[in-house]
């Protein structure tokens, strides 16, 4: 027989509430300040990075398990691929306009 935890998932609830808080803070910065658009975008991007990190540790269990090196390698690879896809997409979309 295996043991199962039946306690309330406080850790997940706190992570969810923090994710909502980051989203609300980003919305407040976007709609209730008179900051320049570039500054607002940088702040929203910062909140997005914080929320992604929060979700990695609270929901995707990055700190659990025995083989932590493979998790780090897979995470770094996933971040690299996401950056390549985003930058590549922006490059292709902006470079294509000069041809037409």
pLDDT confidence of residue 2: 52
pLDDT confidence of residue 5: 64
Label residues 21-58 b or e (16+ Cβ within 10 Å = b): ebeebbeebeeeeeeeeeebeebbeebeeebeebeeeb
pLDDT tens digits for 64-89? 767 767 778 888 898 899 999 999 99
* Domains in the chain: boundaries: 8-64, 66-100
Task: Over range 91-99, report the average pLDDT.
Answer: 77
pLDDT confidence of residue 94: 86
């Amino acid at each position: 027989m295996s043991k199962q935890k039946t306690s309330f998932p406080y850790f997940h609830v706190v992570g969810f509430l923090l994710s909502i808080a980051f989203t609300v803070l980003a919305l407040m910065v976007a709609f209730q300040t008179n900051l320049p658009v570039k500054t607002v975008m940088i702040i929203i991007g910062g909140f997005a990075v914080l929320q992604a990190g929060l979700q990695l540790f609270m929901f995707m269990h990055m700190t659990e398990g025995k083989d932590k090196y493979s998790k780090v390698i897979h995470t770094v690879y996933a971040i690299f691929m996401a950056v390549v896809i985003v930058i590549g997409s922006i490059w292709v979309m902006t470079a294509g306009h000069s041809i037409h």
